[in-house]
């Protein structure tokens, strides 16, 4: 009798595959039944796995791994003086669980069109129980500034890139989502005074669930 590990067939753990959180939440492409409870789905846009809790459907993310997001296709820009989402660095509805702790970090390749610089912040659409961010980046060339905020949708007070340069901005922190359904987390930017804030292709955001 051949051993299971010696067989040539590859086995996948998922019974279902969905392209996005929206498709998973609706069970698109499948007729889910009570007999499917406990089976696993792959959400392919961020390579996460989810266990089916009920046929309605209700899902629970299988802990471990990162949710990852990137700026793709074109640079993200804004000319406004109010924080807006950086396109690509936004979670999808259904990606984050409610009443759950997450560690997050972001790497931004940024450019300011003027010496007024740019500012950055974070936002969760359902007001979180707790949220904080630490920021580090250049003000003038090779001069580093850093600091911290603990408020939702609030720009860090220091403007980075005040030498009209291109330089990285690093951000990290944690949040506790509230009980309200559908929290969406994003990294945001604004242009101080006037001009254009640019966040380049390849800039990234990732989150990891801390609680189980």
Q: What is the pLDDT of residue 47?
A: 79
Contact yes or no for 30/7 (Cβ under 8 A)? no
Pairing of strands 144-149, 84-90: unpaired
Decide if pLDDT at 5 tops 80. no
Greater confidence, 197 or 7? 197
Q: How far apart are CA 51 and CA 58, in angstroms?
A: 9
- In the structure, what pLDDT confidence band is assigned to residue 169 with cuts at 50, 70 and 90? very high
Greater confidence, 38 or 9? 38
Q: Report the share of the chain in percent with pLDDT over 70.
A: 93
**67-209: CATH class:** mainly beta
Q: What is the pLDDT of residue 12?
A: 82
Domain ranges of the chain: 4-61, 67-209
Decide if pLDDT at 16 tops 90. yes
DSSP label at 193?
S
Segment among 45-54, 70-79, 145-154 with least mean pLDDT: 45-54
**Average pLDDT, stretch 25-38?**
93
**Average pLDDT, stretch 102-124?**
97
Which residue shows structure tokens 């330089």? 167
- In the structure, what pLDDT confidence band is assigned to residue 6 with cuts at 50, 70 and 90? low
């Amino acid at each position: 009798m051949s051993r299971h590990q010696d067989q040539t067939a590859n086995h996948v753990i998922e019974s279902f595959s969905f392209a996005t959180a929206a498709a998973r939440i609706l069970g698109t492409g499948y007729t889910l039944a009570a007999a499917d409870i406990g089976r696993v789905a792959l959400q392919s846009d961020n390579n996460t796995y989810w266990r089916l809790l009920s046929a309605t459907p209700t899902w629970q993310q299988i802990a471990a791994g990162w949710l990852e997001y990137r700026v793709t296709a074109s640079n993200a820009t804004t000319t406004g003086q109010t924080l807006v989402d950086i396109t690509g660095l936004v979670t999808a509805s259904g990606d984050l669980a409610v009443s759950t702790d997450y560690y997050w970090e972001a790497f931004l390749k940024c450019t300011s069109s003027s010496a007024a610089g740019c500012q950055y912040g974070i936002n969760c659409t359902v007001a979180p129980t707790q949220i904080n961010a630490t920021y580090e980046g250049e003000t003038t060339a090779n001069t580093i500034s850093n600091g911290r905020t603990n408020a939702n949708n609030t720009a860090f007070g220091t403007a980075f890139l005040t030498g009209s340069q291109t330089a990285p901005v690093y951000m990290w922190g944690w949040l506790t989502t509230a009980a309200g359904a559908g929290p969406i987390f994003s990294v945001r930017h604004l242009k101080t005074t006037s001009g254009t804030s640019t966040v380049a292709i390849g800039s990234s955001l990732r989150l990891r669930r801390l609680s189980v």
